[in-house]
Structure 1
Amino acid sequence: MQLEAGSNMSGCGMNENEILIIFDMRCLQDSSYKYRGVGRLSANLVRSVWRLRKKYQISTLGLIDAGFPPLEEGFRCLVDEVVDNSYIVSEGRSIVFIELSPMTHDPLFVARMLNDANILRIAVVYDFIPMLKPERYLPKASDRLHYDTQLIWLSRYDHFFPISQYTADELHRILQIDPSRITNTAAPVDSAFERLFSSAVRERLPKRYVLACGGAEPRKNIECPIKAHAGSRAVQDAQVALVVSGNYPPEWQARLRDLYVGSGGKPELLFFTGFVDEGDLVAIYRDAVCVIVAAHMEGFSIPVVEGMAAGAPVIASNIPAHVELVERGDLMFSADDVQEAMAKLEMLVGDETHRASVIEDQSTRWQRFRADTIANEFWDSVGGLLTPRKPMIHFNVNRGRRPRIAFLTPMPPDRSGVADYSAATIKELGKLVDVDVYARAMLAATPEGAAVANVISAFPFVSPQYDRVVGVVGNSHFHLEIFNSLMRYGGACIEHDNRLLGFYRILHGRERARQVAEMELKRAVSGHEIDSWMGDESLLEATFLGELAKSSTPLFLHSKVTTDLVNERLNASAIHLPFSIYRPWTFDPVDLAIKKSARKRLGMEDGEFAIASFGYIHSNKAVEEIMWAIDLLRSWNIPVKLYCVGGWATTDYQPFLDLRSRLGLDETVVFASEYTSDAKYRDFLLASDAGIQLRTHFLGGLSGGLLDCIAAGLPTVANDDMAEAMDAPSYVVRVPDHPSPVLIAEALAEISDRTRDRTKLRGERVHYSNDHSFERYSELLCQSLGLDTKVRSKPKTKEAAP
């Protein structure tokens, strides 16, 4: 498809009749709007989208804000799917975005779509009332700035549907919108006005009354009909009451009652309806002697049309929106002229012939505002904006350059494994696409492979210059800002950990952690259970990945076990992106001469069966069980020595030292006394005869230490869950997820007997390393993101917008 306005909607291999319609449904979440004309028109348009299905293959999305009240089921069922961010991928479909209320909520929430010229962007426009009364609606400089910003965003739509000719004229005047981009629509009369209702509320009202339509805000000008009715001796003597609609609070009602009595009205003739449902409202309109609407400002006036539809004669203030609807000067008055309003009122109350003629005249005026009529005209106009065309190539490649992505991640000098991993990723990824890095703080230099380095902000999420936005998330505070941005704006996400328990419990609190766990496990979860998981992750049942799975397009996980688990539990579409080796070797690490040199540097004795465990020392790595296994190996006369290569993950490490002493392993088990340098770490990988990497928490947990062992061709013992998560090669000997010291010892003894000569593992090691290289990782990432990497020009270093 293409826009008649000139913007192209793209899709590689796209069916030209396949269209995705996206509705911004935030106004249907907001109680300030969903029960008013805004909500009525919005629901009518969404409900009637099926009219396009006569010609096009339509699917629909409802865009909601997770920070708003939940969308009622009656609205939710109007669309095929509901999403909570505007990071939408076309997947070969043309996209039409319909903003149902553009001036009421944060425009940044939908800015990505407004900045995408490949999307047909349509706005339903109600009014510009704040500009007419800025002292009330825009009292502060910040309010004016916010409103001006909304106007700027409004100007970016391709086509506009104002709800009245007056609003259309204002749209042209304020934003200089070409009339060819404007098609009028209107707020519909509820179908309830074409049915008969019995009403308990109506039975409590007097037999004869005038209905004054208002609302608890000054521009509704209810004071004018209050004064006009109270001051009319003819109306007062005829005992015709005044019923005021609108949900006025008690203190406001009291003030209006004082005004009414002070203007000469009888107190027993004044009534307030308060909030009433649709059926009661219809009955109140239908039995009114007449309806008076005195507003100072409106974009469209639902009460005027409702009164006509109910068969009650209507008089109204002569503002432009009312003139369009009433079209008779003798039924209109100046909003500030009480005497003129009184005269019009007395004519309808006292002259039955005049009243009957007005009813007849107005009986057909409202019918152009039937819901079906408005829906037909709206969707016919939208259909007319679409014309067939040949499919275009997707993404920015069609503009003669490589795809460009924003990559939000911790980066060195952040002391984070994820930061190091991202640096290695960007080095290779930059060979395929242009990468702009957004880090937690301004980096001293642009990372290798990147075109630009900037500080994390909302900019990449709303900028049209990026084909994709990728956020990197892990189980620590380094990722909080990225996580929050993904929750708000959406994007692709590379999630490094198999669980985010600590991230939620520590950074978001126990209650949110509990709610996220319940969503995943589909059962009640107590706060006590959350605390028990924090104390012992071997008890952990939830991944806490539900919110990310919902917000990310797509969610990438490095563990295939976790990927399967998330997709099964959360009905998600997470993608397995195999973990890459970020300590690659520039030489053959299984060479026997290299091994011998490394053992000499580390002071290992000849004949010693050296076992190494890599990473921080913590009980969740089954350190106690491993020490018992070492004791068994020693009893089997295997000259074993265990090296724990990594610092303490806890300050409470005395129990480990006590167990080592009780077992008499002070000379056999070596705990690192300080941070291990990269050179020494690599020497242990080269020099050891076996590795051991265990976890007591599961759900597809990964291990950088295990990956290092595999990359070095070091035979290693690992538990089933972790080995499966990393698709480990055959020289990783698997033990059960809850192994006894005996099973651990037997697995290590097997390595001692069979595979001390690591040269036999060379071929399998090279194959695994190639499959888990950052080059392959970057290729798979681009492929899954739908990026065409055929354009291979060298990225140019430039500054992105701040």
Structure 2
Amino acid sequence: MPPRLIIDMRCLQDRNYSERGIGSHARNLITHAPEPFAGLYDPALPPLPADMAGRAAVLSPHAYLPGLSPGAVLLNPSPMSPDQHFLARLLHDPGIIKAVCVHDFIPYDDQANYLAHPLNRVDYFAAMAWLKRYDVFFPNSEATAERLRALYGPVRAHITGVALPPWAKGITPLPPRHILMIGGDDARKNPEVLARAHAASPVLRHIPLVISGNCRAETAARLRAITRVELPGRVSDAQMRALYARALCVVTPSRAEGFSLPVIEAAAAGVPSIASDIAAHRALGVAAGERFAPEDTAELAGILEALVHGPARRAEIVAAQADIWRPFSAQAIAARLWQALRPQAPAILQRGKPRIAMLTPLPPEKSGIAGYSATLARALAPLADVTLISTAQASALAHTAPGHDRVLSVLGNSPRHAQIHDLAVKWGSAVLCHDSRLLGLATRNGPKPAAAWASRELGRAVAPREII
């Protein structure tokens, strides 16, 4: 029997985000999972990080998990990523408690910058529609929770926060060298206002400005046209520690955030946090004198100049912000989520006969399997409600739409079964196989794809000439 807990781990397959932001949050929750779990991954994406893959009791390349324990729980740490249809079978199952982490709705609120392309809009709005299928929501901040309720009504929500990254612990402050911003070139991060404040002040121009994070060439050129700025790009954890240790202050000029990690990272490092006056920063306890309007260059420059001229003012801010990070330990964040998902008595669902979708060749196709399946369906009729789906009608709906407790794919050793086979591989199903090798099906596109398939199965290189 599969574990009671299922976690969608696909967000960790993106190398750009698997250890930062959403990926870091997912890692922390997975690390502190209180029981064995089934991890979902997408074989079309890069492999899961080995340390995370090893935490799953079982890994599944699809969401077909029959025989789940009573009171099963699905946790989705990244619901706005593309292809949420991947989870359709589980999201339609009334016997599963569906839980989801909610990070922000910034693309929805700023569609001109984030959803200008029609395909991006379709993906994002589809993900928003799937959110209606969840039972329990875990927003990362009060600001995100308020936006969630504004869009979806009075949902069941538990605010978790986000954990302080492990690398941010135990940083020893060193003599200040630079003004630091963590962000890159996402439009909402608003690095231009900091660059303009730096350029406008004779006092600040003598202090190096460092803006870390991925930065496109056009953004780098735009910032360098405003002021002299160091752009180290994406840095390692050790380099991040060094940047924080030598920072006069950390400036977070964002126009919008769900949760603002640089604020708690700066507090943990003993560095003043100067932040834009938005809900996420107010909620974290950044005081009025340490906040500025996101577009107010003069106000920001004045706050920064006061830090340069007054070491006592800098020390005062450090002392006032010293405890901001403490509620956000890895253990505390994970506990808020997992305690809310403690096992409960499962609902008893009253159902009649099991419902089976059977994808198979059917008469009048000239196939022995077609006749066999027709006979099998008649024999199953007293025991189950069987929906027969012919080869020509086979589609992902049989696997993902509500209404079927199980899916049975019937395969033989012929390319005519390719559609049913490919659906079973992608979406998962039980398989009734009429041949032990399926060589004809495997080689329908020639020996090279078959050799690649065999290599994955055997864990060694298989040459096309070995496929006979």
For residue 478 of structure 1, report the CA deviation from its aligned partner.
Answer: 2.0
Matches within 5 A, 1:137-176: 137-176=114-153
Structure 1 length normalisation: TM-score?
0.56
Q: Deviations over 1:53-105 (max 9, x none)?
A: xxxxx321110001110111011122222111111123544311100101113
Q: Which residue of 2 aligns with 1:407?
A: 358
Q: How far apart in 1 are the matches of 2:68 and 2:150?
A: 38
Q: How far apart in 1 are the matches of 2:204 and 2:460?
A: 64
Does residue 189 of structure 1 match 2:164?
yes
Amino acid at match of 1:358: I
Q: Which residue of 2 aligns with 1:601?
A: none
Q: How far apart in 2 are the matches of 1:247 and 1:145?
A: 26
Structure 1 118/91 Cα, relative in aligned 2: closer, same or farther at 3 Å? closer
Structure 1 184/92 Cα, relative in aligned 2: closer, same or farther at 3 Å? closer
For residue 197 of structure 1, report the CA deviation from its aligned partner.
Answer: 8.0
- Paired residues of 2:82 and 2:123 also in contact (CA < 8 A): no
The correspondence for 2:186, drawn from 198, 217, 220, is 217
Q: How far apart in 2 are the matches of 1:524 and 1:141?
A: 41
- Paired residues of 1:191 and 1:370 also in contact (CA < 8 A): no
Q: Which residue of 2 aligns with 1:473?
A: 411
Q: How far apart in 2 are the matches of 1:521 and 1:149?
A: 38
Structure 1 197/290 Cα, relative in aligned 2: closer, same or farther at 3 Å? closer
Secondary structure in 2 aligned to 1:210? strand
Amino acid at match of 1:105: P
Q: Which residue of 2 aligns with 1:429?
A: 380
Q: Rg larger in 1 or in 2?
A: 1
For residue 527 of structure 1, report the CA deviation from its aligned partner.
Answer: 1.6
Q: Which residue of 2 aligns with 1:295?
A: 254
- Paired residues of 1:214 and 1:244 also in contact (CA < 8 A): yes
Q: Deviations over 1:329-362 (max 9, x none)?
A: 2111111111111112112222111111100011
- Paired residues of 1:122 and 1:160 also in contact (CA < 8 A): yes
Secondary structure in 2 aligned to 1:256? helix
Structure 2 regions of 5+ residues with no counterpart?
Answer: none
- Paired residues of 1:19 and 1:94 also in contact (CA < 8 A): no
- Paired residues of 1:197 and 1:280 also in contact (CA < 8 A): no
Q: Which residue of 2 aligns with 1:783?
A: none
Structure 1 regions of 5+ residues with no counterpart?
Answer: 1-10, 12-17, 51-57, 261-266, 442-454, 534-802
Q: Which residue of 1 aligns with 2:424?
A: 486
Structure 1 132/495 Cα, relative in aligned 2: closer, same or farther at 3 Å? same
For residue 142 of structure 1, report the CA deviation from its aligned partner.
Answer: 4.2
For residue 129 of structure 1, report the CA deviation from its aligned partner.
Answer: 0.9
Q: Which residue of 2 aligns with 1:310?
A: 269
Does residue 226 of structure 1 match 2:195?
yes
Q: How far apart in 2 are the matches of 1:182 and 1:207?
A: 41
Q: How far apart in 2 are the matches of 1:292 and 1:352?
A: 17
Does residue 502 of structure 1 match 2:453?
no
For residue 250 of structure 1, report the CA deviation from its aligned partner.
Answer: 3.9
The correspondence for 1:456, drawn from 387, 391, 394, is 394
Q: Deviations over 1:553-588 (max 9, x none)?
A: xxxxxxxxxxxxxxxxxxxxxxxxxxxxxxxxxxxx
Q: Which residue of 2 aligns with 1:30?
A: 14
Identity %: 36
Amino acid at match of 1:256: L
Which structure ranks higher in relative contact order (CA pairs < 8 Å, sequence separation ≥ 6)? 2
Amino acid at match of 1:331: E
The correspondence for 1:286, drawn from 241, 245, 266, is 245
Q: Deviations over 1:566-617 (max 9, x none)?
A: xxxxxxxxxxxxxxxxxxxxxxxxxxxxxxxxxxxxxxxxxxxxxxxxxxxx
Matches within 5 A, 1:213-612: 213-236=182-205, 239-260=206-227, 267=228, 270-383=229-342, 386-388=343-345, 392=348, 398-399=350-351, 401-441=352-392, 455-507=393-445, 509-530=446-467, 533=468
Q: Which residue of 2 aligns with 1:691?
A: none
Q: How far apart in 2 are the matches of 1:309 and 1:476?
A: 62
Secondary structure in 1 aligned to 2:325? helix
Q: How far apart in 2 are the matches of 1:148 and 1:356?
A: 46
- Paired residues of 1:19 and 1:93 also in contact (CA < 8 A): no
For residue 439 of structure 1, report the CA deviation from its aligned partner.
Answer: 1.4
Secondary structure in 1 aligned to 2:98? strand
Amino acid at match of 2:198: H
Q: How far apart in 1 are the matches of 2:68 and 2:127?
A: 30
For residue 502 of structure 1, report the CA deviation from its aligned partner.
Answer: 2.2
- Paired residues of 1:308 and 1:359 also in contact (CA < 8 A): yes
Q: How far apart in 2 are the matches of 1:32 and 1:426?
A: 48
- Paired residues of 2:274 and 2:290 also in contact (CA < 8 A): yes
Q: How far apart in 1 are the matches of 2:3 and 2:449?
A: 37
Structure 1 523/208 Cα, relative in aligned 2: closer, same or farther at 3 Å? closer
Q: How far apart in 2 are the matches of 1:462 and 1:522?
A: 30
- Paired residues of 2:172 and 2:269 also in contact (CA < 8 A): no
Structure 1 40/291 Cα, relative in aligned 2: closer, same or farther at 3 Å? same
**Count of residue pairs brought into register by the alignment:** 468
What's the Cα RMSD here?
A: 2.2
